[in-house]
Amino acid sequence: MLDFNYRHLAYFRAVAHEGNLTRAADSLHVSQSAVSVQIRKLEKALGHELFERRNRSLVLTEAGRIALDHADEIFSLGDDLVGTLAETGRDRLILRVGSMATLSRNFQLGFLEPLILRDDVELVVRSGPVHDLLRQLEAHQIDVLLANWAPPRDAGTRWVTHPMARQDVSLIARADAPEADSAVAADPGRVPDDARLRELLTNAPLVLPAAETSIRVGFDALVDRLSIRPQIAAEVDDMAMLRLVARAGIGHAVIPSIVVRDEIASGELVELAHLPLLQETFYAITISRKFPNPLLRELLDRGTADV
């Protein structure tokens, strides 16, 4: 059995995250010498130096980086255990959800609908940038992350990406646009031929999702295949804002029709055509846990569906 304990690991982790003995000692409410002693004991037990000094900072060695990865996981699992067992016996279950700030509200509501009206469930929903939410997922601060983007993963990542829903993408215009009276507008479910697509995509300025979205990736491939260069009036990374821009008539919008279904129903906007092979896919991103939230399995078991 290696001659180290979790105090060694806790002191090492504090120094690794602070990058400084003084700040680490202050956070632990102990002396610098006590911290140094614990780290030397851990290095002796592991047989590797964990830090090298650069100027006034302590920088992790390769062995130190590996040790920190394991230390973070060990303490995260400990927090997870305490948090999970603390819920035992409570009348209400809690599901903590992270959601990309730009994500479709319709998808979020559809995903959470089975739990929204349950008296025994409390939902905590946080929104923000996807990379911040991924860090919260890794730290077990949220149970699931809802996104329309599948994060890249490798052997060092522990999250699992579940495709949950998808929706077709259309070209949307105001009802007073000239194209609104065309045959395509009268039959929006039909995908027009290439000649008509070229006409629709070049006759008016376009409002597009931001470049990093899956819709935009598909759209850029479409216009490349059609050998056209459309006029771009705006690029928007938020579906709610994209909806408002479409209503303002700045240009024809490339957007899932469900996002503007109320405006289509009222006659304010018109679906000119489905765009071929363009879909927005929604994902529920989880992380492997020894104590998974039982509410989450109920939602994931609903399977992939069209929104």
- The phi, psi pair for 150, rounded to 5°, reads -95, 115
Say what percent of the chain tops pLDDT 70. 88
CATH superfamily of 86-165+283-306: Periplasmic binding protein-like II (3.40.190.10)
**Domain-wise residue ranges, the chain:** 6-83, 86-165+283-306, 166-279
The mean per-residue pLDDT over the stretch 37-43 comes to 88
Cβ atoms of residues 160 and 286 within 8 Å? yes
The whole-angstrom separation of Cα 147 and Cα 134 is 10
Give the residue with greater pLDDT, 188 vs 283: 283
Cβ atoms of residues 197 and 182 within 8 Å? no
Tokens read off for 279: 């879909």
- The phi, psi pair for 211, rounded to 5°, reads -60, -30
Give the residue with greater pLDDT, 307 vs 130: 130
Give the residue with greater pLDDT, 303 vs 222: 222
> Would 86-165+283-306 and 166-279 be classified into the same CATH topology?
yes
Residue among 31, 288, 267 at smallest CA distance from 172: 267
The mean per-residue pLDDT over the stretch 155-166 comes to 84
The neighbour count for residue 149, using CB atoms within 10 Å, is: 17
The mean per-residue pLDDT over the stretch 141-156 comes to 84
CATH architecture of 6-83: Orthogonal Bundle (1.10)
Residue among 88, 86, 42, 89 at smallest CA distance from 67: 42
Confidence of residue 162 (pLDDT cuts 50, 70, 90): very high
The mean per-residue pLDDT over the stretch 206-215 comes to 85
Confidence of residue 222 (pLDDT cuts 50, 70, 90): very high
The neighbour count for residue 15, using CB atoms within 10 Å, is: 27
Res. 2: pLDDT tops 80: no
Q: What is the pLDDT of residues 234-291, one digit of tens each?
A: 998 788 888 898 899 899 999 988 888 889 999 999 999 889 888 888 899 998 877 7
Residue among 218, 215, 221 at smallest CA distance from 255: 215
Give the per-residue pLDDT at 190.
62
Res. 152: pLDDT tops 70: yes
- For the 166-279 domain, the top CATH level (class) is alpha beta
The mean per-residue pLDDT over the stretch 59-82 comes to 80
Confidence of residue 183 (pLDDT cuts 50, 70, 90): very low
Confidence of residue 229 (pLDDT cuts 50, 70, 90): very high
Mean pLDDT of the chain: 83
